[in-house]
Amino acid sequence: MTRNRLYLLLAFGLLAGYGWIIWFSSHSTLNHTYPACLFKSVTGIACPSCGSTRSVVLVSQGNITDAILLNPIGPFMAVIMLIAPFWLFYDTIFKKDSLYKSYRTSENIIKTKWVAITLIILLLLNWLWNIQKGL
């Protein structure tokens, strides 16, 4: 992936993510009825990322422990959503490519067989945990 394509995708992803969080926060009610995820609507079971939006909202409210317990993917997403816009802005304004270089390094690390297998196992365990919790 080229630098410009990555930065464009990241910018759109961040806008969509922030838009979703804002919409979600404004449409959540006090009785905690949340919009169901598409995967769960179709299959009837939680997906690996079910609860991650609520987890990000909990992080924004300072409830880190509750966020991790709900879905550990959420705090990870929250960190990315906090850091990425500044990093993207920095690289764009100063014509740098530090974010792109970090992406390429991360991509190469994830391609390492034992790292990929570990991440897949962690994702599957999270999925099983989401199903067990009844998300």
pTM: 0.80
Please provide the DSSP assignment of 58-98 as one string.
HHHTT-HHHHHHH-THHHHHHHHHHHHHHHHHHHHHTT--H
Determine the Cα–Cα distance for residues 25 and 53; give it in Å rounded to an integer.
9
pLDDT at 82: 94
Summarised one tens digit per residue, pLDDT across range 43-75 is 888 888 888 888 998 898 899 999 999 999 999
> Which of 83, 33, 73 is CA-nearest to residue 53?
73
Per-residue pLDDT, 28 = 65
Q: What is the DSSP string of 123-135?
A: HHHHHHHHHHHT-
Please report which confidence band the pLDDT of residue 84 belongs to, taking 50, 70 and 90 as the band edges: very high
Q: Is residue 35 pLDDT above 70, yes or no?
A: no
How many CB atoms lie under 10 A from the CB of residue 18?
12
